[in-house]
Amino acid sequence: MSSLPRLPLTFLTIIFVVTVTSCATFRPVPLSDVPFRERAQTQSDDKVRVAVVALSPEESKKVFGVDLASRDIQPVWVEVENKTENPFWMFPSRLDPDYYSPAEVAYMKRFRFSPSRNNKMRAHMEEMDLPRVVAPREAISGFIHTNADPGFKYINVTLIGPEGPEAYHFVVDVPGIKADYQEVNLRALYRPDEIVSLDEEQLRAALEKMPCCTTNKRGTRNGDPLNLVFIGDVEDLLTALVGSGWDVTEKMSPGSIWRTVRSSLLGRRYRHSPVSSLYVFGRRQEAAFQKARQTVNERNHLRLWLTPLRFEGNPVWIGQISRDIGVKFTLRTGFLTTHVIDPDLDHDRWFLIQNLADAEALTKLGYVRGVGEAPPDEPRHNLGGDPYYTDGLRAVMVCTDLPVSFSEVKFFDWEFPPHTNIYREWLVNPPRPSSGQTDP
């Protein structure tokens, strides 16, 4: 008898679940009605033509009929035209080692009480899948389901042919995120007569005359030291940083502030959390990038400012990098909290150099004098009152959007960190490999 009153409740629960799931829809839109290919980036040579697009959450929902972004899945559209008489095999694992299969995606988004719709969805996913082989003189297109990267996405399309792997690298814009860099018109920062082209020694002198540090908005107090320099155009910069795993930062807004607070309190990862404004040349940073851990309280982040300098035709950027290792209470900001930085700034600088070298985006490296030495027993302090110590040098990194192996990286014959100075000659003029000839 005691179980009888529960029957109506159980029945109502079943009715509710069936009703809700029946309202869920699977309605893919024809590809021709989703204009994502207008954003396609293309590379072409005498072997193949490759075009790519990373879909936004809205585009993905239209193409596949379900919300894939809710599971952090981002379809990447790839088109390959084979211009040769030989086949090429696709290697999507080079794009994302953890990419999803079509059936896996369909199962993740399955409807609980609609086998027919599940079958249709799986068939649609498989139909949209990128073929594995590009036959001679033919073209293929389709999607690879990758882990989501909002803002910018680094795409590596690798084809295996008779001469080995052929890799094509892209950094593509993904609509949806409101990044801080989008608010800056770089072309309006300097007049043409303010641009200065320099040779190598002139560049060294000019970089050593740059401000030592970031400042507050009024320029009355020094903050974090300017400990890095990038040389390269915007495309080079994006390829180097996004390709080595750095994310753009969102601009400050109620939504981004809330996501930051939630990440801090709940320990959830927020890859695009805003960074506070620091100032150089009387301007807040033109762009900021970060590498977040599982909580926004712990992340590497860097800020960049465009200078009027040019070296070998490329823009020169000055910036600072530091690592957030926690948070603390403070009255210095309007938020009552601020990040605590790792005091060893040279370690953070070296972390960035490793990133770029691993991504094969670094062509030349050097150091110039910057803020000056601050030993651990006599540290300086940033605007948040955190101590830092450093050898006082700025890393100067020439970036490229073409892959460069670490053995090909060259060095400026300028300053060197104390622990590497004894290897100066070996780094600047590396020994040439032997010809392989032996005495008879």
Return d(Cα 184, Cα 280) in angstroms, integer. 15
Return d(Cα 268, Cα 261) in angstroms, integer. 10
C-beta of residue 386 within 8 angstroms of C-beta of residue 340: yes
Percent helix, strand and coil across the chain, each to the nearest 5: 30, 35, 40
Show the CA angle centred on residue 81, arms to residues 77 and 85, nearest 5°.
145
Q: Are strands 213-215 and 164-174 parallel, antiparallel or unpaired?
A: unpaired
C-beta of residue 382 within 8 angstroms of C-beta of residue 224: yes
Of the candidate ranges 71-80, 85-94, 111-120, 174-183, the one whose mean pLDDT is the lowest: 174-183
pLDDT at 199: 98
C-beta of residue 223 within 8 angstroms of C-beta of residue 214: yes
Q: Where are the domains of the chain?
A: 25-174, 180-428
Q: What is the pLDDT of residues 42-99, one digit of tens each?
A: 999 999 999 999 999 999 999 999 999 999 999 999 999 999 999 999 999 999 999 9
pLDDT at 182: 79
3-state secondary structure of 73: strand
Return d(Cα 305, Cα 109) in angstroms, integer. 43
Q: Residue 339 pLDDT more than 70? A: no
C-beta of residue 99 within 8 angstroms of C-beta of residue 92: yes
Specify the pTM. Answer: 0.82
Q: What is the pLDDT of residues 264-297, one digit of tens each?
A: 666 666 677 778 899 999 999 999 998 877 665 6
Q: Residue 363 pLDDT more than 60? A: yes
3-state secondary structure of 56: coil
* Tokens representing residue 396 in the block: 């100067």
Return d(Cα 85, Cα 357) in angstroms, integer. 35
C-beta of residue 427 within 8 angstroms of C-beta of residue 411: yes
Q: Residue 306 pLDDT more than 80? A: yes
Q: Per CATH, is 25-174 categorized as 1.10.620? A: no
Which is nearest to 311 in space by CA: 427, 409, 201?
A: 201
Of the candidate ranges 63-67, 75-79, 248-252, 255-259, the one whose mean pLDDT is the lowest: 255-259
